[in-house]
Amino acid sequence: IKRKVKELSGVKPLRSDMCLNTCMVFTGHNTELTACLWCYEPRYDVKWSCVAKKNIPQLTFVTLPIGPQLQALYRNTGQAQHM
């Protein structure tokens, strides 16, 4: 279903790593950090990262960019008339 929604709307979710305690997000100038600046919680889950043999974030969140959402609305003539 997620793939079909992305296909039809053109809106691709952006996934970002986040501190386990939600202190900060590891984006922008913080992309290279491996621990939270505030609580020092590690960015990656040590246990699962060892099992998977790659860095697995402890917590992620999803952002839906506003630009593609608006473009999807304007592509639909019925929705565009209401805007």
Domain boundaries, the chain: 2-81
List pLDDT tens digits, range 44-66.
998 877 777 889 899 999 998 88
Q: What is the Cα–Cα distance from 51 to 57, expressed in whole angstroms? A: 13
pLDDT in tens, 26-46: 999 999 999 999 999 999 998
Q: Is the pTM of this model over 0.85?
A: no
22 burial via Cβ count (<10 Å: 0-12, 13-18, 19+): exposed
